[in-house]
Amino acid sequence: MRKIITLSVCSFFLMSCVSNTSTHAPAEKAVQYIDLTSDDKNKLSEYWVLENRIEGEYPASAIGILSGCVDVIVLINNSGGVASFEVKKSYPEGVFDNSVAAALKQWKWSAAEKNTDKVPVLTTIQFTYMTSNSSGGPKNKDEAERQCGFTNQQ
């Protein structure tokens, strides 16, 4: 009898705990932005004007031997900073990504005259890394031109 009462009391407490637990987490407010990732790059200037552009440092391991690029999708927030970014394409993969990340943290835009509400914008940016060496170019010159769209650059 004692076991039945103990089990009943434990069951009651367990049921009370479960019924009081909320299964609904508060919804995060979605960021509203204008998606310019498929539009003309000049359209960005209708919303945001780049005030501070820092070029990514050339990684020491690639100086004089590798050229490449990193295409990133960037979300410019309502205060003109980089809210987030994602690497869309990187050639050679991973070589220049950390340099791009460090540079983007320092980029700053101001709202264009049309963007009075400072609406966030999603856009794409390409960072390019060109090098040359004494033998006439980087060892990946042809592939870098193909992957990144370089043309006749030394």
Task: For residue 89, tell me if it sits in a domain.
Answer: yes
Tokens of 116: 């009075």
Q: How far apart are the C-alpha atoms of 149 and 132, rounded to whole Å?
A: 17
Residue-level pLDDT at 138:
80
Q: For the chain, what percent of residues have pLDDT higher than 70?
A: 73
Task: For residue 47, tell me if it sits in a domain.
Answer: yes
CA dihedral (75, 77, 80, 82) positive or negative? negative
Report the residue count for the chain. Answer: 154
Q: How many domains does the chain have?
A: 1
Tell which wins on pLDDT, 80 or 141.
Answer: 80
- Give the CATH number for residue 137: 3.30.2420.10
Q: Which domain holds residue 138?
A: 31-148
Q: What is the pLDDT of residues 1-41, one digit of tens each?
A: 454 444 444 444 444 444 444 444 455 567 789 999 987 77
| Average pLDDT value for the chain | 81
Does the pLDDT of residue 82 top 90, yes or no? yes
* pTM assigned to the model: 0.73
Tokens of 22: 């909320």
